Structure 1
Amino acid sequence: MRRIFIIGILALFLVGAGTTIYAKSNSVQNLSDWYKDAFQQKSGLVGSLTAVELVTSLSEFNQFITGSKKSLDAMIAVLFDEKTSDVQSSIEMQHAEMVDELEETVAALQQDKFDEYVDELNIEAELTVEVEKMLEELLNE
Structure 2
Amino acid sequence: MTPPLVACVRVLLVAAAVAASPAGAAADARKSAAERLGDPETPPLARGPLGDCVDSYEDIAYSLDQAEKAMAAGDRGTTGTMLDAVRTDVDTCDQGFEDREELEPLKPKQDEELAKLASICIDIAAAAGLRH
TM superposition score normalised by structure 1 = 0.22
Pick the structure with more helix per residue: 1
The one of the two structures with greater contact order (alpha-carbon pairs below 8 A, sep at least 6) is 2
TM superposition score normalised by structure 2 = 0.23
Tell which structure's C-alpha radius of gyration is larger.
1
